[in-house]
Amino acid sequence: MLEISDLTVRYGKLTALDQVGIRVGQGEAVFVVGPNGAGKSTLLKTVAGLLRPARGRIDFDGQPVGGGAPERLCRQGLALVPEGRHIFRTLSVEENLLVGMMIRRDRAAVKDDLERILGLFPILRDRFRGVAGNLSGGEQQQLAIARALLQRPRLLMIDEPSLGLAPLVIDQVYASLRALNADGLTLLVVEQSTARVLDLATRVYVLRSGKVVLADTAEALATGVAMEEAYFGYAGQANG
Amino acid sequence: MRNFLQVLVDAVALGSLLALVALAIGLVFGVMRLINFAQGDYITVGAYALVVPTASLTPALFLGALPVPLMVAGVLFVVVLLALATERVAFRPLRDSDPATLLISSFAVSYFLQHLVMLIHTGRPKSVGIGQALTTPIDIMGLRVPGIQVVTMAVTAVLLIALVLFLKRTSMGIQMRAAAENFQMARLLGVPANRVIAMAFVISGVLGGAVSLLLIVQTGTLDIRMGLMPVIFAFFATVIGGMGSLVGAALGGFLVGGASVLLQSFLPDGLRPFRDAFVFGLVIVILLVRPKGLIVIGAARERV
């Protein structure tokens, strides 16, 4: 579904991503993990069209999409929930969702979707007319995900869904992500912490200093040793 | 008491005018982080569109010769077109530049327009008589208020309400508020950047054109720098209101206009020539107390 190859992204002279290759198949939940500054957010931003690649290819459903404008890419079915959620704080919950629905032209189906998604995140129904800035962090994360879902994406990208949330709230967020994935939604999730990866992931990429240092299925990584080594660099070096 | 009420009406009338200019500046700043000093020249160009370009100091009327509805529509049309043209030529290519670059571009546009008007109409102030019937005072509960002040307040009220309805009730308005708060996120959700920004300029053009007409009826004078003071006052209004907050911009406009009129009336005679120094002093004091302006957006702390 999403095929990234040889992707290089630079901020000025700094290379943030160096010939990265990542593949996400239909219905998968692919995780990209790595320490701070590994280029995870850069990866998602580039796929969503916020950053221009210096080189490389991004294909979505067989179509090249690299360097496209974000307002066009989201119409092709790519949705990004960026790090820090970025809900519109001065708008009401309802208005936030309205902005999410704006690209839809199928009005009847949008209404059904809204009902379904409010069923998934009941707290948003309670706070429907309230200002989004008054929501708690977990509620904001739910709003950001709900808003992205209303676009009816075929691929949902989420940048650090657990960032700044209490463990119990993270459980809730992950429960809804699992439900969405079970419903057939393809996910590309970025996390700094590896703790939640095995809850949901079908496959995992470890990104460090802009390079993919490990790629494997979640089962193969279940022991966690290889992943930790890749994440932190060579354990032997660290100890010696 | 009567005298004080009279002054108060003056204050609200000037405040209304500045609120309109401040809203235009605030709206454009919201969607593209541009402080558009050319807003003042939109006002100037709109006013000059009322007369035929000649060297005469009492020029024949051009758009000003039309019946009132057509004249108003004509001026608004000219200013909206101008605002859109400046966006397309001077601001769109610089959209991703930093705010300082955009600001300098707006100064360039401002000087360009000023000198263009000078080239076409000559630089000398001209007198123009439009809507003079409105300058005669009318009696409202013992107060003698010039009709134009009533019109100014009414027009401001109508435009404010229309703007609020647009921003709250229409899809485009909600998209614009979303874009003003977080432009990248709005784009990620499919809000078309070009259309939202163009819309902000259209509205700033409508507000600018309205100010052209109100100002020209009030003063009866065309001057290539007639938009300068309103735009500077309005800029300070948006700053003390809280950059990015439209409510703040309108509030700031009323505040700066009000302060200016009150100081004009109640300062000792010897200090009146320095009225603007006191107004700007007040701005500094407000900013010292509230550095982010009166209304801070996104101030609510994030809870976990």
pLDDT tens for each residue of B211-226? 999 999 999 999 999 9
Of B184, B297, B304, the CB nearest to A165: B304
How many CB pairs below 8 Å do chains A and B form together?
87
Measured CA to CA in angstroms, residue A59 lies from A24, A73, A78, A133, B276 at distances of: 11, 11, 11, 36, 60
Q: Considering only alpha carbons, which residue of chain A is nearest residue B189?
A: A100
What is the Cα gyration radius of chain A? 18
CB contact under 8 A, B304 and A75: no
Q: Which residues of A137-168 are buried (b: 16+ CB within 10 A; e: fewer)?
A: bbbbbbbbbbbbbbbbbbbbbbbbbbbbbeee
- B189 shares contact with chain A (CB less than 8 Å): yes
Contacts of B151 by beta carbon, 8 Å cutoff, 6+ apart: B134, B214, B217
In the predicted structure, residue A223 carries a pLDDT above the cut 80: no
Partner-chain contact A98 B185, CB within 8 Å: no
**Statement: residue B302 has pLDDT above 70:** no
Q: Which residues of A touch B186 (CB under 8 A)?
A: 88, 99
Alpha helices in chain B (DSSP H): 2-32, 39-48, 68-86, 99-121, 147-169, 171-181, 183-188, 193-219, 228-241, 246-266, 275-289
Nearest CA-CA partner of A205 in A1, A29, A50: A29
Tens of pLDDT, residue by residue over B244-299, are 788 899 999 999 999 999 999 889 988 998 999 999 999 999 999 998 888 876 54
Q: What residues of A are in the B interface, CB distance below 8 Å?
A: 48, 50, 69-71, 74-75, 79-80, 82, 86, 88-91, 95-96, 98-100, 102-103, 131, 133-138, 140, 147-148, 151, 164-166, 169
DSSP H helical ranges for chain A: 40-48, 70-73, 93-101, 107-120, 122-126, 137-149, 167-182, 197-200, 225-232, 235-239
Does the beta carbon of B276 lie under 8 angstroms from any beta carbon of chain A?
A: no
Identify which of A70, A133, A134 has the shortest CB distance to residue B298: A133
Chain A residues whose beta carbon lies within 8 Å of the beta carbon of residue B303 = 135-137
> What is the token pair recorded at B46?
């709109």
**Record: contact A74-B189, CB cut-off 8 A:** yes
Predicted structure pTM score: 0.88
**Higher pLDDT pick, A128 / B246:** A128
Supply the pLDDT for residue A221: 73
Closest Cα partner for A161 from A175, A176, A174, A147?
A174
Tokens of B278: 């006191």
Give residues with Cβ within 8 angstroms of A68, minimum separation 6: A49
Mutate to test the interface with B, among A88, A93, A95, A150 (most CBs of B within 10 A): A88
For the beta carbon of residue A129, count every other beta carbon within 10 angstroms: 9
* Distance of alpha carbon B27 from alpha carbon B33, whole angstroms: 9
Which residue out of A86, A142, A168 would a mutagenesis test of the B interface target, given it has the greatest number of B Cβ atoms within 10 Å?
A86
CB nearest to B189's CB, from A135, A147, A165: A147
Rounded mean pLDDT of chain B?
A: 91
Residue B178's pLDDT is what? 93
Sequence ranges of the domains in chain B: 2-227
Nearest chain B residue to A157, by CA: B188
- Cβ distance B188 to A48 less than 8 Å, yes or no, reads yes
Helices (H), A16-164: 40-48, 70-73, 93-101, 107-120, 122-126, 137-149
Average pLDDT, chain A: 89
Task: Give the amino acid at A55.
Answer: R
DSSP summary character for residue B303: B
Q: Is pLDDT of A178 > 70? A: yes
Interchain contact, A99 vs B181, CB within 8 Å: no
Domains and CATH numbers, chain A: 2-239 (3.40.50.300)
Mutate which of B188, B194, B304 to disrupt the A interface (most A C-beta within 10 Å)? B188
> What one-character DSSP code corresponds to residue B130?
-
- One-letter identity of residue B232: I
Q: Which chain A residues contact residue B190 at CB under 8 A?
A: 70-71, 74-75, 102-103, 151
Mean pLDDT, residues B230-244: 91
Element containing residue B126 per DSSP (H, E): strand B126-127
Contacts of residue A86 in chain B, CB cutoff 8 Å? Answer: 182, 184-185
Would the pLDDT of A17 be above 50?
yes
Within 8 A by CB and 6+ apart from A188, the residues are: A2, A24, A30, A32, A44, A47, A155, A156, A157, A158
Smallest Cβ–Cβ distance between B171 and the set A50, A89, A102 belongs to A102
State residue B303's pLDDT score: 37
* Min Cα–Cα distance to chain A from B106, Å: 26
